[in-house]
Chains A and B, each alone.
Chain A
Amino acid sequence: MLFDFSPYDADRPLLMRCTCGKDHTVAEHQKEQAAQSATTELIRRSQTEEFEAYSNAFVEASLIKAIFPQERERRNFLRAVGKGTAMAAIASVLPIASMQAMAQEAGKKPGTLEKTNLKIGFIPITCATPLIMAHPLGFYSKQGLNVEVTKTAGWALIRDKMINKEYDATHFLSPMPLAISMGVGSTQVPMNVATIQNTNGQAITLANKHKDKRDPKLWKGLKFAVPFEFSMHNFLLRYYVAEAGLNPDTDIQIRVVPPPEMVANLRAGNIDGYLGPDPFNQRAVFEEIGFIHILTKELWDGHPCCAFGSSTEFIQSNPNTFAALYRAVLNAAAMARGPENRELIAKVIAPQAYLNQPETVLTQVLTGRFADGLGNIKTVPDRADFNPIPWQSMAVWMLTQMKRWGYIKGDVNYKQIAEKVFLLTDAKKRMTELGMKAPEGAYPKFTIMGKVFDAAKPDEYVNSFAINKMG
C-alpha cells in the first residue's frame, strides 16, 4: 500500500519520514537495507578462508580443465611431467595462470598492473551477473582495479564501444566476438572470449493466447524476437523450430528486438513470443502476459550464452591487468555458482544501478524456483548457471550455425577461428613453444536436442541438416 503510515499500529513507529532521514517509504527503506545487508553478507562469505580456498581451487580447476578437457590426457600429462613442473608450465604459458600469486601482490606492489582504471560494459540481464556483482562485492578492487561497470543500451552499442575502445572489456553475446573477429556485421577487429559468463538461463516465452500451441509444429506464421543476430538466442530458436520441421526464414518471422521491448511488444501483440534472456522471460510471467514455453536448458543443457571478453589488442598490451580482471570475474563466477548465494545475489543486483528489476523476478531466475505463467511452480536449480570455461567446441558449434543460416559463406576454418577467439589456444601455443606436448581436445562433444555434436566433423554436422540457408 502506498502512504501506509499505520498510525494505529502499536508495533510500528509513526513514520512520516523514514527514520534514516531520507524521504522514502518504509518499504523502500527496508528494500535498501535488504540490498545492503545482502551485499555485506556476500562480502563476508567471500572473505572466508573456505571461499578463498574454494575460489582458488575453482579458478585453477577451470584452467586445468580448459587445457585438458579429457580426463585421461590430464592424468597422462601430470604423470609424465609431475605436479610441480605442470604447475610451473601452466603458470608460464597462461597470462591468467600466474594470477593466484600476482593477485595477492597487486595490492601491495602498485605498478604491476598496466592500467588500473577500467571501463566495462554490460547489458542489464541476469547473464551479466558475475560481471556486475564483482563490483559491489569488491572483487575488482581486491585485484587492485578501479572498474566502472556501465549499463549499455544494446548489443550493437556494445560492439561499437568495444571497437571504439571506449570499453576496455565487456559483456558479450558469445557469438559476437567470433563475428567481430571475422568482420561479419562490423569492421574486422580481433576480439577474445576470456570466459563464458553464463550457461543456460534463457527461455522461449509465448504470449498467453498461445497456451494451446505448445507444439512448435503449430507455429507457422508466428512472429518471434531475439536480442541480436549473432546470439545463441537466434541460433537456438532457429535450431528448435527447424527440428520441428519449420524453416525459420520462411515459416516464422524472427526480428531483432531489445529484451525490455520484447515484453512490451508481447503485450501489444506485435510478437507472439521470443527466445530471450532473463529476467525478461520471468518478467513476462510477472506481468501476466506470457508463459515460459521451454527453458533453453532443455534444448542444450549447459549451453553457453553470454561471455566476457576484450579486444586482442587490449589483452596483449595489458596482460597483467587482464589477468587481474579475469580473476575477479572468475571469483564472481565461483560465488555465483553456489546455490546458497543465489538469493542474496538477486538482492544485490536488483537495484537501479544494476538490473533495475523487481527482486522477486530475479530471485526466481537465479534460484530456479519459479512461476511458469501457466499456474505451476517449477523447481529447476540449474535454470541459470555460471560455468566459465570457453570450450572451443562451443565456438565451432556457433560457427556451424552461422554457416547453416547463411551468415558466413564458403569454406570455414572452424578450428582456426575458434582457437583464435576462444582464449584457450594461447595456452596451447605457448606450451608447444616450450617444447611440451600440447594437449589435444579442447573440443568435448555436446548433445543438442538429442543430436551429438562432434567439433572434429563440423562440415558433416552442417550438411546433416535438411533445413538450412546454404543454397
Chain B
Amino acid sequence: MASNLNGRALLISLVLLLALLGIWQLATHSTGAASASNLSAEQIEYLKMLGKDPGTQKQGGFPTPAQMGATVWKHLADPFYDKGPNDKGIAIQLGHSLARVGLGFLLACVVAIPLGFVIGMSPLLHKALDPFIQILKPISPLAWMPLALYTIKDSSASGIFVIFICSVWPMLINTAFGVASVKREWLNVARTLEVKPLRKAFQVILPAAAPTILTGMRISMGIAWLVIVAAEMLVGGTGIGYFVWNEWNNLSLTNVLFAIGVIGVMGMLLDLVFARLQKWVTYAD
C-alpha cells in the first residue's frame, strides 16, 4: 500500500509540475518580434536602443521556461569560476554563504545550548532571563545590521554576528524547555542512585532533552539560512545574497529566479540533515 501511495503522490507532484510549467510558458509566451520592413533608419536605431533589434526577441522581463533552463544550465555547467572579487561562480557564492551560516550557527550553539541547559535546570534563572529573551527574540536581522556594522566595524564579522543573534533564540528556548521537562521519575531515580551532577547532566538529562534540543537547532538553522540572504544583500561582497543583489541590480529576473531556486534547494538539504539527526537521537520510551 505504501509504495502505491508514494507512486501516486509522485504522479500528482509531476502533474502539478507540468501544469506549472505550462502556465508559465503560456504566461510568458510573447508574440513575434517586430519586422524591419517599413521602418525608417532612425526608427530601427531607436528600437535597437531599446534592445529590440528587428528580427530578434528581447530578453528580459519574466523569462520563459526555456530561457530559465538555459540560465540554469549556464550556471551549473561552470559553478566554480572566479573572475575577481565581483564575479564568481554560483558554487563559490554558495560556499561563502554556507561558511558564514556555519560559523554563526556554531557560535549560537556554543552559547545557546549550555545557557539553555542552565536556564532549564533553574526556574529562578528562567524567570529572570525570560524578559530579555522575549524582547530580543523578535528583532529582525536587518535591524541588527546597522548596529553590528557600527560597533563591530567589519562587514563579514557583522554578517556572522547577525546569523548568531538570530539563530540563538530558538535553540535557547528549546533547550531550556527540553531540559525543564525531563521526566521527574528519571531525575528521582538518579537522585536515589546518588549520581554525580555532571554525570546526571550528560547521561540522564542530555539524552532525554536531545530531541527537543535538535528541534531547536533545526528551527535555528532554518532561520539562519533565511537571514544570510538578507544580510548578504545588505553587506554585499560575496555569497548567494550578494548574487541576488547583483542580479537585481541588473534587473535580471532569470538569474534572481535561479538564485531563489538554489536557496530553496539548499535550505531543504540543510533541513534534511537536521531531520536525520533528530531521528537518530529520538527513541521510544
Contacts and interface: CB of A to CB of B under 8 A. Distances in A.
Contact of B251 (A149, A150, A153, A263): A263
Contact of B49 (A263, A357, A370): A370
- Pick the most buried of B73, B149, B242: most chain A CB atoms within 10 A of its CB: B149
A153 B236 contact: yes
Given A153-B245, A360-B51, A353 B74 contact: no
Interface in A215-262: 260-261
A357 B251 CA distance: 9
Contact of B155 (A161, A283, A285): A161
A377 B45 contact: yes
B194 interface: no
Cβ-closest 10 pairs across A and B: A153-B236, A353-B87, A371-B49, A23-B77, A164-B153, A353-B86, A356-B250, A260-B249, A151-B86, A352-B87
27 contacts: A3-B66, A3-B70, A23-B74, A23-B77, A151-B86, A153-B233, A153-B236, A157-B234, A157-B235, A160-B149, A160-B150, A161-B155, A163-B153, A164-B153, A260-B249, A261-B248, A263-B251, A283-B251, A287-B60, A287-B251, A352-B246, A353-B85, A356-B246, A356-B247, A371-B46, A371-B50, A377-B46
A164 to B, nearest CB: 4
Main secondary structure of the interface of B (DSSP, over half): helix
Contacts of B67: 2
Nearest to B55: A1
B233 A164 contact: no
B51 A286 contact: yes
Interface string A15-41: 000000011110000000000000000
B30 to A, nearest CB: 12
A325 B77 CA distance: 38
Contact of A377 (B42, B85, B236): B42
Nearest to B61: A287
Given A157-B236, A166-B154, A286-B50, A150 B57 contact: no
Contacts of A163: 153
Interface in B143-191: 146, 149-150, 153-155
B8 interface: no
> Which of B49, B146, B155 is the most central at the interface, judged by chain A CB atoms within 10 Å of its CB?
B49
A357 B46 contact: no
Contacts of B250: 260, 352, 356-357
A187 to B, nearest CB: 8
A163 B66 CA distance: 46
A360 B236 contact: no
Interface in B41-71: 42, 45-46, 48-51, 56-57, 59-61, 66-67, 70
Nearest to B56: A1
Interface string A339-380: 000000000000111101110110010000011000111000
Contacts of B78: 22-23
B235 A358 contact: no
- Report the interface size class on chain B: 35 or more
B56 A260 contact: no
B248 A260 contact: yes
B142 to A, nearest CB: 12
Given A3-B66, A164-B154, A353-B83, A150 B49 contact: no
Nearest to A356: B250
B237 interface: yes
Contact of A153 (B45, B51, B235): B235
A433 interface: no
- Kindly name the residue among A352, A353, A371 whose own CB sees the greatest number of chain B CB atoms within 10 A: A352
A349 B204 CA distance: 63
B154 to A, nearest CB: 7
Contacts of B46: 371, 375-377
A285 B86 contact: no
Contacts of B149: 157, 160, 164
B153 A351 contact: no
A154 B246 CA distance: 12
Contacts of A151: 85-86, 236, 246
A261 B248 CA distance: 8
B79 to A, nearest CB: 11
A400 B31 CA distance: 54
Interface in A270-284: 283
A377 B236 CA distance: 36
A153 B57 CA distance: 31
B84 interface: yes
A288 B246 contact: no
A470 interface: no
A394 B153 CA distance: 31
A152 interface: yes
A304 interface: no
Given A164-B149, A360-B49, 4 more contacts: A150-B85, A352-B250, A353-B87, A377-B45
A285 B50 contact: yes
A157 B49 CA distance: 33
A164 B154 CA distance: 7
